[in-house]
C-alpha cells in the first residue's frame, strides 16, 4: 500500500472518530458558525469596519442596540456588528494557520529528536526548553518591534511558541515505537531514516496530531486576542481583540456594554468550540 494511501486511510479513520462524538460535533458547529461570519463579512456588510456613521448629520456615537444597528455603535460611530463579522476573519485565520504551523513543526521536531536521538535529540530538546523559558508577551513585543505590527507576525510568534508541547509528546511516542520489531525488520531490509520516520512511525502519531491541532487552535485564538488587545495587531485590520482594546481605552466599559460583550462572547465561543472538539476526540478515541 502506498504511503499516501496509508495516511489517507488514517485521516479518514480519525475524522470518523471525530464525527461520532456529539461533543465534537457541537464544537464543529461553533467553529463553522465563526467561519460563516468570516466569509459573509465580504458580502453582506453595509459599512466598512472603520467607517464612521452619521445619523441626521451627527456622529452615531455610542448608540445602543436598535433596529438600524443591531449591536449598537462604538464611540467612533462605527457599527459593532460590522466589526464583529470582520473580526472573525482575523481570529480564524490566525488560529487555524498558527495551529497548522505548530502541528507541522512540533511533529517533525519530535520525529527527528526521538528517532535520531544523540546530538540531534539534545539540540532539539534544548531549543524546546529554551522556548519554554521565553515569556510569550515579551517575545511578541520584541518581534513586532523589529518587524512591525501585523497578523502574519502574530501568527509566526504564536506558532513558534505553541509547538513545544507536541514536540515533546511525539518524541516520547517515537522513542517507544522505534524499538518495535517491525521497525528493526524494516531497517534490516535497508529502509533509510526518512522512510522509517515518515512511512512507518508518523502514521502512529496522527491521533496525537489531531488532538494537538484542536488544542493549539484554542490557544492560538486566545493568544491572538491577547496580543491584539495589547496593541500588537495590524492597525488597519479590525479584530475582536482590538475591539476589546478600543472599548477599554475609551473608558466606556460600564456604560457601553454592547461594545465589549459581543467580541468577548465570540472569543470565548471559538475557544470553547476548539476545546469541545479536542475533548470529544479524546473521549471517543479512548473508548
For residue 124, what are the β-bridge partners? Answer: none
Please give the Cα distance from 212 to 282 (Å, whole number). Answer: 11
The model's pLDDT over 5-24, given as tens digits with 9 standing for 90+, comes to 666 776 777 777 777 788 88
Higher pLDDT, 9 or 270: 270
> What are the residue ranges spanned by the domains of the chain?
3-286
What one-character DSSP code corresponds to residue 199? Answer: I
Grid cell 466606556 in the structure block, residue: 252
Cell numbers given for 159: 506558532
Within 13 Å and on the Cβ side, how many CA atoms surround 107? 22
- Gyration radius (Cα) of the chain, Å: 23
Whether 191 shows a pLDDT value over 90: the answer reads no
DSSP string covering 25-93: HHHHHHHHHHHHHHHHTTTS-SS-TT---EETTEE-TTPPS-SSSTT-B-TTS-BHHHHHHHHHHHHHH
Closest CA to 132 of 107, 168, 105, 98: 168
The model's pLDDT over 79-106, given as tens digits with 9 standing for 90+, comes to 999 999 999 999 899 999 999 999 999 9
CATH homologous superfamily for 3-286? MetI-like (1.10.3720.10)
pTM of this structure: 0.87
- Residue 1's pLDDT band, with cuts at 50, 70 and 90, is very low
Contact between 220 and 48 under an 8 Å Cβ cutoff? The reply is no
**Would you call 274 exposed, middle or buried from its count of C-beta atoms within 10 A (0-12, 13-18, 19+)?**
buried
Contact between 23 and 279 under an 8 Å Cβ cutoff? The reply is yes
Contact between 173 and 111 under an 8 Å Cβ cutoff? The reply is no
Interhelix angle for 118-133 vs 80-116, to 10°? 150
The model's pLDDT over 34-93, given as tens digits with 9 standing for 90+, comes to 999 999 988 877 888 889 999 888 999 999 999 989 999 999 999 999 999 999 999 899
What one-character DSSP code corresponds to residue 253? Answer: T
Whether 152 shows a pLDDT value over 50: the answer reads yes
The model's pLDDT over 216-266, given as tens digits with 9 standing for 90+, comes to 999 999 999 988 898 888 888 899 999 999 999 988 888 899 999 999 999
> Going along the chain, which residue ranges are E strands?
54-55, 58-59
Residue 193: predicted pLDDT = 82
Contact between 178 and 201 under an 8 Å Cβ cutoff? The reply is yes
Please give the Cα distance from 126 to 118 (Å, whole number). Answer: 12
Amino acid at each position: 500500500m502506498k504511503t499516501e494511501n496509508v495516511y489517507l486511510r488514517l485521516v479518514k479513520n480519525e475524522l470518523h472518530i471525530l464525527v461520532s462524538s456529539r461533543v465534537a460535533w457541537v464544537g464543529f458547529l461553533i467553529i463553522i458558525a465563526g467561519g460563516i461570519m468570516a466569509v459573509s463579512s465580504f458580502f453582506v456588510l453595509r459599512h466598512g469596519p472603520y467607517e464612521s456613521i452619521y445619523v441626521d448629520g451627527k456622529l452615531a456615537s455610542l448608540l445602543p442596540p436598535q433596529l438600524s444597528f443591531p449591536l449598537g455603535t462604538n464611540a467612533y460611530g462605527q457599527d459593532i456588528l460590522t466589526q464583529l463579522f470582520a473580526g472573525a476573519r482575523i481570529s480564524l485565520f490566525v488560529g487555524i494557520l498558527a495551529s497548522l504551523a505548530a502541528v507541522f513543526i512540533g511533529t517533525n521536531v519530535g520525529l527527528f529528536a526521538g528517532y535520531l536521538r544523540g546530538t540531534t535529540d539534545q539540540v532539539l530538546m534544548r531549543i524546546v526548553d529554551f522556548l519554554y523559558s521565553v515569556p510569550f508577551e515579551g517575545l511578541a513585543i520584541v518581534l513586532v518591534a523589529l518587524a512591525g505590527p501585523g497578523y502574519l507576525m502574530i501568527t509566526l510568534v504564536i506558532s513558534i511558541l505553541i509547538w513545544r508541547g507536541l514536540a515533546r509528546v511525539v518524541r516520547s511516542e517515537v522513542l517507544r515505537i522505534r524499538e518495535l520489531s517491525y521497525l528493526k525488520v524494516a531497517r534490516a531490509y535497508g529502509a533509510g531514516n526518512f522512510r522509517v520516520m515518515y512511512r512507518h512511525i508518523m502514521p502512529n502519531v496522527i491521533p496525537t496530531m489531531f488532538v494537538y491541532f484542536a488544542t493549539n487552535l484554542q490557544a492560538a485564538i486566545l493568544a491572538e486576542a491577547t496580543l491584539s488587545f495589547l496593541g500588537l495587531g495590524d492597525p488597519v485590520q479590525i479584530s475582536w481583540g482590538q475591539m476589546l482594546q478600543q472599548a477599554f481605552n475609551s473608558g466606556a466599559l460600564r456604560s457601553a456594554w454592547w461594545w465589549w460583550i459581543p467580541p468577548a462572547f465570540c472569543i470565548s465561543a471559538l475557544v470553547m468550540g476548539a476545546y469541545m472538539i479536542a475533548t470529544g476526540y479524546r473521549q471517543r478515541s479512548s473508548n
